[in-house]
Amino acid sequence: MIELQAIFTTIRKEMAVYQPPFQPKHDLEIDYDLWSFKDLVIEGRKYKEVYFAGIVIRKDYVGFYYMPVYAEPKIKALFKPELLKLLKGKSCFHIKKLDEALLRQIQEALEAGFKQYKERGWV
């Protein structure tokens, strides 16, 4: 659990760079997420908020949830094999170990997602 907490804390620090403009709904020691609270119309539907990313400690991994892949599936092409092999489903990465290369890839993904949300006017 200690290693998972260290992974969580490290990724949380990288995510916090984007707060503001994003704000958390959950800001706990095992659950942290970032949202844009803004009236939006996306594909004809009205939203008062849009999810950006989150992390949560599970039994044997840290779940890193990255929503920009839903808005722009092509963003997945930015993921290197080390990060891509941790992808379970469309937007959740199961992280059990974190090294500098993987952390850099997460940083790059957050930066690309933030840029995408800004370009779309979602933040």
Residue 83 lies in a domain: yes
CATH number of domain containing 55: 3.90.1150
Which of 1, 41, 33, 28 is closest to 16 using CA atoms?
33
pLDDT in tens, 60-69: 999 999 999 8
Is 122 domain-assigned? no
pLDDT for res 69: 85
Indicate the number of domains in the chain.
1
Domain assignment of residue 121, yes or no: no
The answer to the question of residue 33 being in a domain is yes
Does the pLDDT at position 51 exceed 90? yes
Does a structural domain hold residue 23? yes
Domain with 62, as residue range(s), is: 2-116
Residue 121 per-residue DSSP state: T
DSSP per-residue codes, 16-52 = HTTTTTSB-S-BSSSEEEEEEEEEEEETTEEEEEEEE
pLDDT tens for residues 67-123? Answer: 998 777 777 788 888 888 898 988 899 999 999 999 999 999 999 999 999 999 998
Mean pLDDT score, 24-53: 92
